[in-house]
Structure 1
Amino acid sequence: MLDDLFARLREATAPAEIATLQDGIWQIWLSAGHPLLDKRLETGMRALSADDYTLAIQEFGFLVEAAPDYAEGWNKRATAHYLRGEYKAALRDVRETLRREPRHFGALSGWANMLRALGDAPGTLRVLLRLEALCPAWPGLQDQLRTLREELG
């Protein structure tokens, strides 16, 4: 089912269709496959929403330890590190996310944002090109690519 959603995402052009397909993919990604793990994911996401990054990192760290192949545990922990300003830890977890799910558009988008904030325009462009391969019509993506290409000459 995930492969089908990604195939449709590559072809989608309407923002509403892209959003619907992304939502379907997130529904799959947000299931850790075990009630205890799902509960820890939920607790971590609530902590993230409440800006309690320490608790979020603990909960997502539990997921990473208990289910190291579960890409979303790595991605959520990367998000918590990013929001806490810990880019090095966030980038490490993004790489782990993408090792497990190379199509993870959330991780790619976050990675591009971090590289942009760090002033790495060439790196940002490379990551956004990976995102473009997943969904060329991603809202705002073509503008970002154009801006980066102009900056880089």
Structure 2
Amino acid sequence: MDSLIIDSLLKDLKNADEKVRERATKKLWRIWFQQKGTYGLEMIERSQQLLDSGKIGEAKALLAKLIRQQPDFAEAWNRRAFLYYSLGDYQNSLADCQMVLRLIPVHFGALHGMGLCYAAMGQYAEAIKAFHRALEIQPYSLANQKLILECNLRLSN
């Protein structure tokens, strides 16, 4: 991944112009999904099709295979984290999010996912930390701002 392009896109995430931020967000996702070329992208798309059709076990096996083949493919880890989260397996989802962040420390999707996992487990202080880390990268994210407020409300009860 070209660090100059990534740095420029990360800077654009902080731009006051919403269109600039949206374009940067889409480009970063595209870079992350296409990190391993056509094969990696096709495998991720296939896993999503399996997940959408209720074939969760097959989707999980496909992502596990992709991770074994390409352990430095952050988006494969991220997709599996999403799958685990959707199954309520928050510990495994967190572990995969942490792996994504080892590979791509600015992966705001993984930070958001970590926050969601912590919130689902009732660990609101940890969730707030994760959402704040995501906001450092994507300061205009209304979703993360809202989730921080919700977690703070739960902490105050």
Matched, 1:8 2:12: yes
> What SS class does the counterpart of residue 107 from structure 1 fall into?
helix
Deviation at 1:107, TM superposition (A): 1.0
Q: Which residue number in structure 2 is paired with residue 84 of structure 1?
A: 87
Residues 18 and 138 in structure 1, CA contact (< 8 A), matched pair in contact too: no
1:63 to 57, 66, 69: 66
User: How far has the Cα of 1:59 moved from its partner?
Assistant: 1.4
How well do the aligned residues superpose, as a CA RMSD in angstroms?
Answer: 1.9
User: CA offset at residue 97 of structure 1?
Assistant: 0.8
Q: Output the TM-score relative to the length of structure 1.
A: 0.87
Letter in 2 for 1:2: I
Counting aligned pairs with the same residue, the percent is 25
| Cα deviations by residue, 1:80-128 (Å, 9 ceiling, x for unpaired) | 1111222121111111111101111111111111111111111011101
Match of 2:110 among 89, 103, 107: 107
User: Which residue of structure 1 aligns with residue 125 of structure 2?
Assistant: 122
The CA deviation at 1:150 is 5.2
Letter in 2 for 1:6: L
The separation in 1 between residues aligned to 2:7 and 2:61, in whole angstroms, is 31
**Higher mean C-alpha displacement, 75-84 vs 14-23:** 14-23
- What is the CA–CA distance in structure 2 between the aligned matches of 1:66 and 1:4, rounded to whole Å? 30
Amino acid across the alignment from 1:79: F
Gaps of 5+ in 2: none
Matches of 1:31 and 1:57 in 2, distance apart?
20
2:33 touches 2:75 (CA, 8 Å); kept in 1?
yes
1:18 Cα offset (Å): 2.9
1:28 deviates by: 0.8
Aligned structure 1 segments of 4 or more residues deviating by more than 2 angstroms: 12-20, 32-39, 48-52, 140-153
Change (3 A) 1:4 1:40: same
The number of residue pairs the alignment matches comes to 152
Moved more, 137-146 or 82-91: 137-146
Note the residue ranges of structure 1 that are not aligned, 5 or more in a row.
Answer: none
